[in-house]
Each structure stands twice: as structure tokens, then as C-alpha cells.
């Protein structure tokens, strides 16, 4: 599991990292997902909330979701695991680089969270409050975990 995301991108989140929002997300993750252990990288001056997962997707044995959230409600939820698979849900300006993305919300697909404009997809997560975005990320991860597939992560639906 890499310390830094395998692929980076030129775009950045607007505004400073919002400690109050990261704390809200930490408490929500702690309550909602038994496999997750969320921890701020620095309690007083956090830049990221690292959510350790006791199991990974599709054969990975452990994983981590790194969460960043700013005062402008831009965000990144970046998944990385012991098989070095990466993907990321994001919301931030991208100068129209992501041609398939209609608004700010987008998804960098596995296996390498590609930032290639041809690869980046519109995100299925459309709502803004951190409560709803966090719940959506955890639910999508859960469905992918149960079905042992990356496909549900940005499908946005899980029919019977």
C-alpha cells in the first residue's frame, strides 16, 4: 500500500482543509462501518483523514481510504489497498479536462485511479453534505466488498 496515491493530478481542491468537517466524517465512519478505523494524520492540524480498512476488495487483505474535505466543500476519497489498486471519488474544478464529467463530481476508476481525461467518469455521488457523501462512499464500498467486484463502486445502483 503506497504512502502516496499512485497517480496524482494537476487539479487541486479549493480552500483550506476543513478540520471540523474531517471530524464529522471521522465520527460518522467510526459509527457506520465496523471494518473501518478512521484517524486524523495530525489531531491539531490535519491534512487528511486516513480510514484504515481491515479487509480489501477483490483479494486485497487490507485497504485505506484517504479523505480530504475543504472549507469550500471540495473533496477527495482515495482508496488504495495491499494489491496496489487505487480509485478515487472527487469533487473539485477540473478546467473542463474531464470530458465525460458534466459537473464537479467525478470518479477516477481502478486499477490506478487514472486521471487520463478519457478514463475519468462522471460520479454517481451527486449530493453535497459531507454526511451524505460519506454515507454514499461507505455504502458503495460495502456493496463492492460483498459482491467482490469493482463494478458497483460508480454504478450508483444495486438492483436485487
Partner 1 sequence: MSDRTLPDEFEDINEAVSEEWVSETTPYERVRHVIAHTYESVSVDAIADDARTSPKTARKHLNALANEGFVVTATGKHGGTTYRRSPESLVVEQAADILEQVSTDELTTRIAEMRDQLSSYQSEYGVDSPEELAVEQTNQALSESASAQRDIDAETIQEWQTLRRNLAFANAALSIANAQRFVDGDRHLTDGSVPA
Catalog residues that contact partner 1 under the rule CB under 8 A.
12-13, 15-21, 23-24, 43-47, 70-71, 73, 124-132, 135-136, 139-140, 142-143, 146, 156-160
Q: Which CB sits closer to partner 1, 132 or 151?
A: 132
Q: Which is nearer to partner 1, 34 or 118 (CB)?
A: 34
In angstroms, what is the minimal distance from the CB of 23 to partner 1? 7
Instruction: Give the pairing of strands 36-40 and 63-69.
Output: unpaired
Least separation in angstroms between residue 143's CB and partner 1 is 6
Shortest Å, Cβ 66 to partner 1: 14
| Dmax (CA) of the chain | 44
Q: Could you tell me the smallest distance in angstroms from the CB atom of residue 74 to partner 1? A: 10
- Residue 11 or 83: which CB sits closer to partner 1? 11
Question: For residues 4 and 96, which CB has a smaller minimum distance to partner 1 in the complex?
Answer: 4
Least gap, CB of 53 to partner 1 (angstroms): 18
Whichever of 41 and 84 has its CB closer to partner 1, that residue is 41
Q: What is the Rg, in whole angstroms, of the alpha carbon atoms belonging to the chain?
A: 14
Region at 24 (left for phi over 0; alpha for psi -120 to 50; beta for the rest): alpha
Using CA atoms, how far apart are residues 114 and 54, in angstroms rounded to an integer? 25
Here the contacts of 154-159 (C-beta below 8 Å, separation 24 or greater) are 154/89, 154/107, 154/109, 154/121, 154/123, 154/124, 155/124, 156/124, 156/125
Amino acid at each position: 500500500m503506497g504512502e502516496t496515491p499512485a497517480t496524482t493530478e494537476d487539479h487541486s481542491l479549493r480552500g483550506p482543509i476543513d478540520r471540523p468537517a474531517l471530524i464529522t466524517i471521522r465520527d460518522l465512519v467510526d459509527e457506520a462501518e465496523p471494518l473501518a478505523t478512521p484517524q486524523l494524520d495530525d489531531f491539531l492540524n490535519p491534512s487528511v483523514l486516513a480510514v484504515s480498512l481491515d479487509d480489501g476488495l477483490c483479494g486485497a487483505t487490507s485497504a485505506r481510504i484517504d479523505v480530504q474535505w475543504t472549507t469550500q466543500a471540495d473533496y477527495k476519497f482515495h482508496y488504495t489497498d495491499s494489491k496496489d489498486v487505487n480509485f478515487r471519488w472527487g469533487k473539485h474544478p477540473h478546467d473542463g479536462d474531464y470530458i465525460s464529467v458534466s459537473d464537479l463530481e467525478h470518479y477516477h476508476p481502478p486499477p490506478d485511479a487514472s486521471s487520463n481525461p478519457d478514463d475519468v467518469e462522471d460520479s454517481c455521488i451527486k449530493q453535497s453534505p459531507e454526511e451524505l457523501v460519506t454515507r454514499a462512499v461507505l455504502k458503495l464500498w460495502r456493496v463492492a466488498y460483498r459482491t467482490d467486484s469493482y463494478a458497483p463502486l460508480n454504478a450508483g445502483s444495486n438492483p436485487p
